Amino acid sequence: MVGTPPELERGTGVPAHVQIERWLLASIAGGELTPGDRLPGERELAGRLGVSRMTLRQALASLERDGVLLRVPGRSGGAFVAEPRPAPRIDCDLTGLAGFTEQMRRAHLRAEARILRAATVPAPAAAARALGVAPGEPVHEVARVRSAGRSPVALERSYFPRLPGLLDEDLTGSLYALLATRYDLEPRTATEHLDPVIAQPAEAAELGIEPGAPLMLIERTAYAADGTPVEYARDLFRPDRVRITVRSGVTAPEDS
């Protein structure tokens, strides 16, 4: 049941219906209201808030448009808290070599990164093979949680050669842009392998999902224009949030 209504502030420049919307959203986020709960009738709720029914209806209509409330007409109807809509999946096209930041820009979403680890470490065997270094040789490891619209969608773990000063740079943006501008090592080609896996407990905690939930692993080695390997990565994507696309074509046969 909805809690005690707030004292609406007058003369603040924030319309009363907007304050009501914020209060109801906070009540849902805080668990006071859950999907399926019915709000008090308009007359009762407007009286408790000290506003006209027209003002209240303006707030309810806005929340209905946003999919937060479901309004049912009739004597047994009313305003109900709607089930949350699943977030739309984001298309990530592997045909080119666009990084996560560029992919999110194309989807008109803000890409964010939370650094989990940025350190110089002994190269694991797979990273050593990909980067062409001896196992155990120092390489740079950068692990990040990538989010779109503040919702975590991927867990990236990349290994780079020992580029001077790399770990002192801002690692929250595009690492490919950093390789290009700082080191003249723009990734131009890549070999990528896709495998379905399940989330381990630590991965699940970072991605906000249950352990054992499905994930898509993309294992990638990226190369500069001259063929120098510049990154080995193992990225875990949430398939409920990301759809992987690869475009293909038919090469015309050569004349015999």
Domain boundaries, the chain: 16-81, 90-245
**Averages of pLDDT over each 10 residues, the chain, 256 residues:** 72 85 87 89 91 93 88 82 75 69 66 91 98 97 87 93 96 92 94 94 91 94 96 94 76 54
Query: What would the two tokens of residue 206 be?
Result: 């970072």
Q: Are strands 229-237 and 151-160 parallel, antiparallel or unpaired?
A: antiparallel
Cα–Cα distance for residue pair 42/56, rounded to 1 Å: 7
Q: For the domain bounded by 90-245, which CATH number is listed?
A: 3.40.1410.10
Q: Global pTM?
A: 0.64
Rounded Cα distance between 183 and 56, Å, is 58
Of residues 106, 104, 100, the one with CA closest to residue 157: 100
| Alpha carbons 220 and 127: distance in angstroms, whole number | 10
Residue pair 42/56 in contact (Cβ under 8 Å)? The answer is: yes
Per the CB < 8 A criterion, the answer to whether 222 and 190 are in contact is yes
Amino acid of residue 83? E
Residue 20 dihedral angles phi and psi, to the nearest 5°? -65, -45
For residue 69, give every residue at least 6 positions away whose Cβ sits within 8 Å of its Cβ, in sequence order, or none: 24, 39, 60, 63, 79, 80, 81, 82
> Is CATH 3.40.50.1700 the classification given to domain 16-81?
no
Reported as half-sphere exposure (CB side, CA atoms, 13 A), residue 176 has a value of 19
